[in-house]
Copies of this chain bind each other. A is one copy, B any other.
Amino acid sequence: MQPVILLVRPQLVENIGTTARAMLNCGLEQLRLVAPRDPWPLDNTHQARMLAAASGADAVLEQASVFPSLAEAIGDLHTLYAATARPRDMLKPVLTPRLAMVEVRQRLAAGEKIGFLFGPERTGLTNDDLSVVEKIITIPANPAFSSFNLAQAVLVLAYEWCSQQQEAHPETLAYGKTRPATKAELQHFFDHLERELEAHGFFTTPELKPSMVQNLRNALLRGQWSEQEVRTWHGVVTALARNAR
């Protein structure tokens, strides 16, 4: 089972299309539209604009249901979450998208049907809309610029849906007294190495040179060299390039 995405009074068919794309990118396919501004079914012009924005997510749009009111759209659902940046003067639990999705997975596993509400582009959800939801999801955002595009807000929820909970154990590399090499330092070394390889007839087949160069660079990049190591390897290349005694 999946959560249902409900767009409440969406104004722009383009945003309905980009929402469908974002949903399908993350494997969500259940879309409900509540009183969209443009009358449904859409005329050919609006339909074309919506499909262009969907970039191939047509299946989501074809299966979408349209309801005249929010009450009619939610009757079969058990728990509702509203995505809104603005905390209202309402006593509702507020969750991050991440925490909400952990909870939603538990609820779905227990057999509940879940809905996520998103408001109109310009005005957002009203207090009356919010009075039907159990909880509010607020996307962590820049307080000075917190208004998300409608499809972008849907994507954050959809991304949390498809993103598995992962243990975070990144490798570390102790550079000690040195520091990671900069790209300019590495490029200087690559130039040195490839110039000497060219001079020594390493690239026997000219048309294979670009992919050989890529493979050489990939092998060295994986080493995450320090500035000290780059200097050492300049010395290595210089030494190897000298005529043997």
Choose, from A43-51, A164-172, A200-208, A234-242, the stretch at the interface: A164-172
Main secondary structure of the interface of A (DSSP, over half): loop
Cα distance, A226 to B172, chains bound together (Å): 49
> Is there contact, CB below 8 Å, between A163 and B25?
no
- Decide if A103 is an interface residue (CB 8 Å cutoff): yes
Cα distance, A155 to B170, chains bound together (Å): 22
Q: What is the size category of the interface that chain A forms with chain B?
A: 35 or more
A4 to chain B, nearest CB (A): 12
With A127-B214, A183-B75, A183-B78 already in contact, the answer to whether A221 and B162 are too (CB < 8 A) is no
- Decide if A66 is an interface residue (CB 8 Å cutoff): no
Cα distance, A219 to B92, chains bound together (Å): 9
- Decide if A77 is an interface residue (CB 8 Å cutoff): yes
Q: Could you list which residues of chain A lie within 8 angstroms of chain B, going by C-beta atoms? A: 18, 21-22, 24-27, 55-57, 71, 74-80, 90-93, 95-99, 102-103, 106, 110-112, 127-128, 131-134, 139-142, 145-149, 151-152, 155-156, 159, 162-166, 168, 170, 172, 175, 179-184, 187, 210-211, 213-214, 217-219, 221-222, 224
> Is there contact, CB below 8 Å, between A182 and B142?
no
> Is there contact, CB below 8 Å, between A103 and B145?
no
> Is there contact, CB below 8 Å, between B134 and A224?
yes
> Is there contact, CB below 8 Å, between B25 and A90?
no
Cα distance, A160 to B182, chains bound together (Å): 25
Cα distance, A159 to B142, chains bound together (Å): 10
Q: Using Cβ atoms and an 8 Å threshold, which residues of chain B touch A80?
A: 183
- With both beta carbons as reference points, the residue of chain B lying nearest to A78 in the complex is identified as B180
